[in-house]
Structure 1
Amino acid sequence: MTAISPSSTVTARLVVTGAGGQLGRELLRRAPAARAFGRGELDITDADAVGAVLEPGDVVLNCAAYTAVDQAESDAEAAFAGNATGPAVLAAACARVGARLIHISTDYVFAGTSDKPYETDDPTDPATVYGRSKSAGEQAVLELAPLAHVVRTAWVYTGRGSDFVATMVRLERERDTVDVVSDQLGSPTYAADLAEGLLELAGRPDAPRVLHATNSGQASWFDFARAVFAGIGADPTRVRPCDSTAFPRPARRPAYSVLSNRSWADAGLTPLRSWEAALGDALSGLSR
């Protein structure tokens, strides 16, 4: 995906919440003039604090979220505070001052039992506390902020820190073989590509209110892991398939969470490239 110059697509002031996360950091690399607020700098559940930083005409990119999927099962209050209350506060504040909100959501709002890519208007039916909290956040944003957009994405990575790609790179060094589940399908999404797409959307107030944005194509975690190994010059057969029962977790993972990007393309937004091409760039970047 070609890098987008924010100045060519966005004239409003950008505000990034959740700026310390992987997507927030990628947005700031491309839009360094944006006002950035990490978790310790702005509590999005605090209406007074949020109201104090917004101005008319702002475009707010909300990357703030509670993302501890398993922990949410036993800490629903925190999950709903971060994923429902916070976005509701942001949405109400944006509506009050005349700002526009772009809120990031997730494939977990769907049941994960489909056999074809989820469209934006497919019924949501989250199976986890995390998914239910994100679904509640979506509903609040759409109800409270007439100018808002909800953008669902999935399997986001940068290749740094502790995400899936970084973990596979580390395990390749540490283990002879790695077992990875092969019965969960999704669309790996490079945070750099997603950030570029969101900045393009920031300049498109006419776009649909609900959109899906992922790199194109689909893969299992097993496929994804083998591609990581191959991309760093390791033998991909060292990655062995297993099913989800090998890694029981408090929160059930979606078996199928591929999101259709039809709405994004139909809106005239630049489609995100294939996940394979994006992964190649991500891995090449790790060696620099």
Structure 2
Amino acid sequence: MIWRRILDPLHQLLAPPVATCLTCGRMTNRSTQIHGICRDCYNEIPWIRQPRCRTCGRHIGCPDCTRTGGHERFFICNRSAVAYSPVMREWLGQYKYRGNERYSELLIMMLGQAFDRMRNEHRHTDSQWTIDVITCVPVSSIRLQERGFNQAEVLAIGVAGLSQIPFRRLIIRERHTDKQSLKNRSDRIRDMMNTFEGDPDIINSIRNILESRHRSRVNSPLRILVIDDIYTTGSTINSCARVLWGAGEVIGHLLEIYSLTWARS
């Protein structure tokens, strides 16, 4: 009996850790690259590791970025962690609409991996490439009241923490819009025009970021990363990028706007 009291705790320490998978609820002791989910669920993630479209980061043929006569694009490119599959739709729904806060850590870790790939991609051609500041797509006060949080801001703050890059609120939403998922491409683009504006302190914020940079980078473009949950037509990101680009013109310094989204539809 005395030996059992000694050995049982040792067996528990030496046994592989058993946890409940966040997404399927099954017990698992098989670790993955992302903490909190089992290997079966991890294997269902439709990662976009090699985007087919170099502009929007889409994993399949992209008619949007090859259209002629479209609206001017104010951002350099978008990269997304995953394709928006039915499984990913359920994960986002758990986080965004059902308020399951445990999913925020999962999505942030996935975005962190996507950002690492994005950074490595750009450093192949420019070894000094770096992001100076991270911001997010804002939500309207109505949407914020409905959900209780801005899902894009939570993701952006999480990625900023992982990458040790400052986060700033640089954009505000001037007016409320209906859910974009219910609209076609042309309606989305039309609806997003003039939806956003710069935060009242945006000019000072950008100037402070410029002043804090190393002297070797004084004349290089200020690179801003805009984070959102889903990229569909790019109209939301482009509208935000237009606001940031305009602030750069006021200051007289070149801004490069990049986008990182959790999913690409």
Q: TM-score, normalised by structure 1?
A: 0.29
Larger radius of gyration: 2
Q: TM-score, normalised by structure 2?
A: 0.31
